[in-house]
Amino acid sequence: MTVMQTTTAAPTQQPDRTPADICSAPPRRHPRPEGQDHYTISEVVAFTGLTAHTLRWYERIGLMSHIDRSHTGQRRYSNRDLDWLDFVTKLRLTGMPVADMVRYAELVREGETTYPDRRELLEQTRRDVVSRIAELHDTLSVLDRKISFYETGGN
Amino acid sequence: MTVMQTTTAAPTQQPDRTPADICSAPPRRHPRPEGQDHYTISEVVAFTGLTAHTLRWYERIGLMSHIDRSHTGQRRYSNRDLDWLDFVTKLRLTGMPVADMVRYAELVREGETTYPDRRELLEQTRRDVVSRIAELHDTLSVLDRKISFYETGGN
DNA sequence: TATGACCTTGGAGTGCACTCGAAGCAAGCG
DNA sequence: CGCTTGCTTCGAGTGCACTCCAAGGTCATA
């Protein structure tokens, strides 16, 4: 894939505008440093594994806030957008419905006053994940019982 | 190594008619003993939590083999059917597509010669479950990081 | 300047796993 | 006998999360 260079490097990027957007960012190394983070949609496809269709759809439904555009209207994703996508991907792995993720995104956009709501939402999600893990362990033991049956009886 | 029934055994439990149908049955206590296990669909709904529609649909797509009928054509589910539904529910929890479950059901119907295929299918499923659990643990740590951020910064 | 890969949009389509509806038959009860 | 409840069938509808399409504009390289 030809990684297009985004030569439109904004010279004056003010440092760290909204810490509320990505709270407690994970230890991720970004492909490019702040100031040069103007990724095309195909670059983001390469980084995240999501399709371009899905990325545009996320934006349309409000799961991502408005993405910067080049002077010709093409999307230019930032490092923060990448962080957000990482987080969203994690949430998706938990089985959280997209509508709930949108709800969370809205809370983020509303600012710091929604910290308690966000925490509650994440804690509920956490509980769901924990019980999901328990379910899977349970399933695992059923599978193991059957597999050991087939191992001894089936060969 | 056949798994023995664990404790509180039913008084007159028949010695395992068709081992091919439910291999290595889980330690489940049935609502009624063998011989009286002719459950109506609404009873099965109560036991399993599935809807009557779903139960009929399972039968239609081949996820369940033919269910016994009363003289008037109504379904009468057996204890073995209940066991199978339990197992299917477990498989569903793993996220296995229904088509794959149908494939497994077909293998069961084909008899003992498919033991190796069944084992392979279950082992693949097991691998999927294990990696899913790992993913969820990963997600859990991300959630915990964010939650602790909101705990300290958000109140 | 021309090529071809890449980008834009809104809306329509897909696949999965149910979920429901309509029309009709059968059993039990006052 | 009428009523209610529960069962039957097939086929159509739902909700989710994408996924794709058509028509057209943009961009770097030859």
> Which 107-136 residues of chain B touch chain A by CB within 8 A?
112, 115-116, 118-119, 122-123, 125-126, 129-130, 132-133, 135-136
Best interface-test mutation with A: which of B117, B139, B151 has the largest number of A CBs within 10 A? B139
In chain B, which residue's Cα lies nearest the Cα of A28? B142
Q: Which is it for the CA torsion A17, A23, A24, A29, positive or negative?
A: negative
Give the pLDDT confidence score for residue B19 in this predicted structure: 41
- Which of B123, B113, B117 lies closest to A147 in space, CA to CA? B123
Q: Of residues 41 to 80 in chain B, which lie within 7 A of strand D by their beta carbon?
A: 41-43, 52-53, 56, 60, 73-75
Q: Which fold is adopted by the domain B41-153?
A: Multidrug-efflux Transporter Regulator; Chain: A; Domain 2 (1.10.1660)
Q: Check CB contact under 8 Å for A129 and B140.
A: yes
Phi, psi at residue B68, to the nearest 5°?
-55, 150
Residues of A in contact with B3 (CB under 8 A): 145, 149
User: pLDDT 10s per residue in chain A (155 long)?
Assistant: 333 333 333 333 333 344 444 556 555 578 778 877 889 999 999 999 899 999 999 999 999 988 999 888 899 999 999 999 999 999 999 989 999 999 999 999 999 999 999 999 999 999 999 999 999 999 999 999 999 998 876 44
Would you give the distance in Å from CA B91 to the centre of its chain? Answer: 6
pLDDT (0 to 100) of residue A15: 39
User: For residue A127, what are the CA distances in angstroms to A98, A120, A124, B15?
Assistant: 18, 11, 5, 42
Collect all residues of chain B within an 8 Å Cβ-Cβ radius of residue A94: 136, 139, 143
Expressed in angstroms, the distance from the first to the final Cα of chain A is 48
Question: What integer pLDDT is reported at residue B49 of this predicted model?
Answer: 87
Query: What DSSP string runs through A69-80?
Result: B-TTS-B-B-HH
Residue B38: predicted pLDDT: 85
User: What does the pLDDT read at residue B84?
Assistant: 92
Tokens matching residue A37:
């983070």
CB A121 within 8 Å of CB A86: no
Q: Do A116 and B150 touch (CB under 8 A)?
A: yes
CB A146, CB B23: distance < 8 Å:
yes
* pLDDT < 50 positions in chain B: 1-21, 154-155
pLDDT at B100: 92
What ranges do the domains of chain B cover? Answer: 41-153
Q: What element of type H or E holds B68?
A: strand B68-69
- Is A92 near strand D, with its CB below 7 A from some atom of it? yes
Q: What's the burial of B81, exposed, middle or buried (CB within 10 Å: 0-12/13-18/19+)?
A: buried
In whole angstroms, C22 C1' to B42 CA is: 20
**Res B151: pLDDT:** 81
